[in-house]
Amino acid sequence: MAKILVIDDNVDLLETIRQILALRGGHQVVVSAEGTDGLAKAVADPPDLAIVDVMMPGVSGYEICRQLRANPRTASVPIIVFTARGQPVDRQAAMDVGADDYMAKPVPMKELLERVNDLLAKRAAETAHVLAGMVVLLSLRGGVGVTTLAVNLAATLARARDEAACLVDLCPSSGHVALHLGLRPEPNWSDLVKIGVPDVEFVEALLLQHASGLRVLASPMLPVVGHGLPRTVVETTLRVLRRRFAAVVVDAPSVLDEAAMAALDAATVVGLVVTPDAPSIQTAVGTMRALGQWSDKFQIILNQITPGAKLPTEAIERALKRSLLGTIPFDPAQARALGHGAPLALHSSTSPLAQAVRGLVQET
């Protein structure tokens, strides 16, 4: 089921479309008979798809398309444009303002439903498994829930794939990945420091086995004194794991050490985790500036680690000049899950946190 916004000043047509999309298509439908109101609804609660009439009093459908594309919150929303004009020039005008599809009135309802479902399927295919391959989760501000997300993301990917995923904890100061999973962190990556270049067998021998099938390269329980893992060792280890597993999730250290640099180089995607408060956003802005060479890999994940709203999403996206990949809601069950070594993604799949993490990877 998708959330679809329909903006058209013809109230009879609105009701017909609502019934077709809701009853036959099984979608959630939000309607608006006025352009300004429809645009406000789209920005306040972005839909999965928008259907927009061109000829409306006040704000035209073309202007709505332009504003939807200009706003980071709605820039990627698929748009179908309705118009009473059916000439090629009208179709081109709709495409020029950012529409994905164009239909001339009167609109056959069966065809409309097919077009809607085709666009939704195309969008899902384009964004499927955004967080896949070598995923590095990072924040240079501690206490924002990076490890919680890494554990639950890895567990979700492990369930979604035939081959178990691997989770790597690169924290040099007593990482908590093993604790989240109820595992004892022995062996761990400290043994990698003792050798030059690890081979496949050596790396495999260091991996912990979780009951879910998830494999874990744990951080040592005692903090590492000194420089920690050399960059070349991390590069080789991650290369071995990437060949062995379809999905590798890395809980990166909150400092830009050699291990973090190696992880960023190896990453398919870097999930920059932020919380809705000024210090976290300031740190994120600085992080992206310092790591500009990897900017094309960054995806922003908003993590609500406390109840109640703080900075609004729009303000965060403006400050970071990026739209959010997703938002993880505050979940009071997480504290209990940590105490029991039982990640919510594995033991409470209907929890808000587990559902949000599944949404990040577009699991189908």
Per-residue pLDDT of 230-265, as tens digits, reads: 999 999 999 999 989 989 999 999 999 999 999 999
Q: 296: burial class by Cβ within 10 Å (0-12, 13-18, 19+)?
A: exposed
Asked if residue 277 and residue 256 are part of one domain, the reply reads yes
Residues 134, 154: Cα–Cα separation, whole Å = 11
Residue 310 has a pLDDT of: 78
98, two tokens: 């950012």
Residues 28, 43: Cα–Cα separation, whole Å = 17
Residues 6+ positions from 314 with CB-CB distance below 8 Å: 43, 73
Asked if residue 40 and residue 147 are part of one domain, the reply reads no
Sign of CA dihedral 310, 313, 317, 322: positive
**CATH code of the domain containing 357:** 3.40.50.300
Number of domains in the chain: 2
pLDDT tens digits in sequence order for the chain, 364 residues long: 789 999 999 999 999 999 999 998 889 999 999 999 999 999 998 999 999 999 888 889 999 999 998 887 888 899 999 888 767 887 888 888 889 899 988 889 999 999 998 888 777 655 555 667 899 999 999 999 999 999 999 998 887 655 578 999 999 988 999 999 999 999 999 999 887 778 899 999 999 999 989 999 999 999 888 777 899 999 999 999 998 998 999 999 999 999 999 999 999 999 999 999 999 999 999 999 999 999 889 999 999 999 986 788 889 999 999 889 989 999 999 999 998 999 999 999 889 999 899 888 864 3
Asked if residue 56 and residue 173 are part of one domain, the reply reads no
Average pLDDT score, the chain:
90
Asked if residue 187 and residue 211 are part of one domain, the reply reads yes
Residues 72, 295: Cα–Cα separation, whole Å = 17
Where is the domain boundary, 127, 149, 174? 127
Asked if residue 202 and residue 123 are part of one domain, the reply reads no
Domain extent, residue 68, equals 3-127
Count other Cβ atoms within 10 Å, centred on residue 93: 18
Asked if residue 98 and residue 148 are part of one domain, the reply reads no
Residue with tokens 């036959």: 24
* Segment holding 154, helix H or strand E: helix 146-160
Residue 18 has a pLDDT of: 94
Asked if residue 304 and residue 282 are part of one domain, the reply reads yes
Sign of CA dihedral 335, 338, 342, 345: positive
Residue 94 has a pLDDT of: 85
User: For residues 34, 2, 247 and 235, what is the CA-based torsion angle, rounded to 10 degrees?
Assistant: 0
Q: What are phi and psi of 230, to 5 degrees?
A: -65, 150
Asked if residue 321 and residue 179 are part of one domain, the reply reads yes
Residue 181 has a pLDDT of: 97
Residues 155, 9: Cα–Cα separation, whole Å = 47
pLDDT, one tens digit per residue, over 280-332 is 999 999 999 999 999 889 999 999 999 986 788 889 999 999 889 989 999 99
Residues 6+ positions from 280 with CB-CB distance below 8 Å: 139, 141, 144, 274
Identity (one letter) of the amino acid at 244?
R
Asked if residue 162 and residue 123 are part of one domain, the reply reads no
